[in-house]
Amino acid sequence: MQAPPTLTPSPTEPTGASVARRSQAVLPRGGQGPDGLPSHEGKLRYEELKPLGQGSFGEIKLAHDNDIDRLVAIKRLKSGLEAGEPLARFMDEIQVVGQLEHPSIPPIHDVGLDERGYFFVMKYIQGDTLEHIIERLKAEDPLYAQRFSYKARAELFLRVLQAIQFAHEKGILHRDLKPENLMVGPYGEVMVMDWGLAKRIGSAEVPGGAGVLGDDQRNSTRMGTVVGTPAYMSPEQARGRLDQMDARSDLYSLAAVFYELLTLDHYLTPKLTQEQMLAGVIVEEPLSATQMHHRYGIPPEFTFFLRKGLNKVPEARFQSASEMAAQLRAILDGDVPVQCPCTGLKAAGNRWFDFIDAHPIGAIVATLVLSMSAAYGAASFVGDMISDLMP
């Protein structure tokens, strides 16, 4: 995808004071200036406060919006990356996120240009990343353990799926889904962050610079032949077959995230290098559904769900986010598919509870008949035993 030509500064574009004015606050601050007009006090519209994070080519800072009087997040390109391919990706991210108006996708408030280059302004999201939540659960933090039961984690993940379903239906792939890019707010709101590697389905690839940023190369976003974060890539993504990536690649990444959220472990055995991680994603099979259940104690209906999501063959995975969300919703509602003896018992029990809800009188009668039959059978058995013992 190429950036619109109008977004690239021309050689004759004004610089200096004229550019700086585009970043100044416009609402009066009270009082009058020397010309008798309302004073603006020369404040910048966005006053940057502290760094929030950085990605492959961008950095995000917390800022104060002096016009609206609120905290916002500002994303800029890193120094030295303000042109060419990084700028094309940056502008594409703006346009992609701008089309995704969904409660779980942070909205863009503004786009600007100042003496430091292009920037865009987003809603400031407060809360925990899934990465932090997993760390606290692993540390057996009682507050997090109480708040994030298996069911609560599944409900949380369902909201992530619904956001990705919305993006896919708009024709957008995320391509970098991982615990670090998913946030949970203080009131349970869920946000899918960092759409910097997003791509319109079927569009041409924007070339990226080679290399990996960050100390832990297994969990850092890689650009170049392979795009994404190795630990959460789909097999086709890890092979560098970007032309084969579709919605099912994002769903594989989400299955890897959900596995870690439930088990507190990555789905592959530990890897020391990026190359080992990429090879593991391509060829190493995760635990079977039964092994997951016995090792981690998570409900079996979730382990079969995860095993399908982590299938190496795209055709054997969930085929859409809507299908994946519908199956998870059914599990949460008690409609458990029969896939093993445990899920069979759960399914039978849930159907009995449904019968009770729909036919309470019939359920009472059936219970009484079964109880009387059992009592009669027990009495007959005891009577036969007594008869056998008597001379």
pLDDT of amino acid 82: 75
Same-domain pairing of 63 and 88: yes
Query: Three-class SS of residue 61?
Result: strand
pLDDT of amino acid 216: 45
Same-domain pairing of 245 and 311: yes
Question: Where in the sequence is the domain holding 242, given as residue range(s)?
Answer: 128-333
Is 303 contained in some domain?
Answer: yes
pLDDT of amino acid 37: 53
User: Tens of pLDDT along 260-293?
Assistant: 999 999 999 999 899 999 999 999 999 999 999 9
CB 159 within 8 A of CB 182: no
Same-domain pairing of 229 and 158: yes
- Report whether pLDDT(78) > 60: yes
Is 169 contained in some domain?
Answer: yes
Of 118-122, 185-189, 201-205, the least confident: 201-205
Same-domain pairing of 266 and 208: yes
Same-domain pairing of 138 and 269: yes
pLDDT of amino acid 343: 55
Cα separation of 292 and 259, whole Å?
10
Is 73 contained in some domain?
Answer: yes
CB 172 within 8 A of CB 198: yes
Same-domain pairing of 313 and 210: yes
Cα separation of 287 and 196, whole Å?
32
Phi-psi region of 331 (alpha: psi -120 to 50; beta: other; left: phi over 0): alpha
**Environment class of 361 (CB within 10 Å of its CB; exposed 0-12, middle 13-18, buried 19+):** exposed
**Regarding predicted confidence, which is higher, 77 or 83?**
77
CATH value at residue 15 = 3.30.200.20
Which one is catalytic: 35, 65, 114, 176?
176
Is 91 contained in some domain?
Answer: yes
Same-domain pairing of 78 and 147: no
Residue 309 parent element (H or E) = helix 300-309
User: Tens of pLDDT along 217-274?
Assistant: 445 554 446 788 999 999 999 998 888 899 999 999 999 999 999 999 999 999 989 9
CATH value at residue 254 = 1.10.510.10
Same-domain pairing of 228 and 311: yes
* Spatial strand order in the sheet of 190-192: 128-129, 182-184, 190-192
- Nearest CA among 11, 12, 136, 114 for reference residue 63: 114
Backbone angles phi and psi of 353, in degrees to 5: -65, -40
Query: Three-class SS of residue 196?
Result: coil
pLDDT of amino acid 385: 58
pLDDT of amino acid 331: 92
Tokens 């369902």 -> residue: 158
Is 386 contained in some domain?
Answer: no
Cα separation of 113 and 22, whole Å?
7
Residue 48: beta bridge partners? 63
Whether 216 sits among the annotated catalytic residues: the reply is no
User: Tens of pLDDT along 122-160?
Assistant: 999 999 999 999 999 999 999 999 999 999 999 999 999
Query: Three-class SS of residue 363?
Result: helix
- Which of these three, 123, 140, 155, is where a domain ends? 123
- Which of these three, 333, 360, 382, is where a domain ends? 333
Residue 240 has which token pair? 């560098």
- Which of these three, 308, 333, 358, is where a domain ends? 333
User: Tens of pLDDT along 7-56?
Assistant: 444 433 444 434 444 566 666 655 555 555 555 566 888 999 999 988 77
Is 360 contained in some domain?
Answer: no
Same-domain pairing of 137 and 281: yes
The arithmetic mean of pLDDT across residues 58-72, rounded, is 93
Of 72-86, 99-113, 322-336, the least confident: 72-86
Is 377 contained in some domain?
Answer: no
Is 339 contained in some domain?
Answer: no
- Report whether pLDDT(308) > 60: yes
Cα separation of 286 and 297, whole Å?
16
Task: Calculate what percentage of the chain has a pLDDT beyond 70.
Answer: 70
- Report whether pLDDT(185) > 50: yes
- Report whether pLDDT(368) > 70: no
User: Tens of pLDDT along 192-222?
Assistant: 999 988 988 877 776 544 333 333 444 555 4
Q: How many domains does the chain have?
A: 2
Cα separation of 367 and 364, whole Å?
5
Q: Going by C-beta distance under 8 Å and a sequence separation of 6 or more, which residues neighbour residue 292?
A: 263, 286, 298, 303, 306, 307
Q: Tell me what the pLDDT averaged over the chain comes to.
A: 80
Same-domain pairing of 30 and 143: no
The arithmetic mean of pLDDT across residues 290-315, rounded, is 93
Same-domain pairing of 187 and 275: yes
Same-domain pairing of 206 and 325: yes
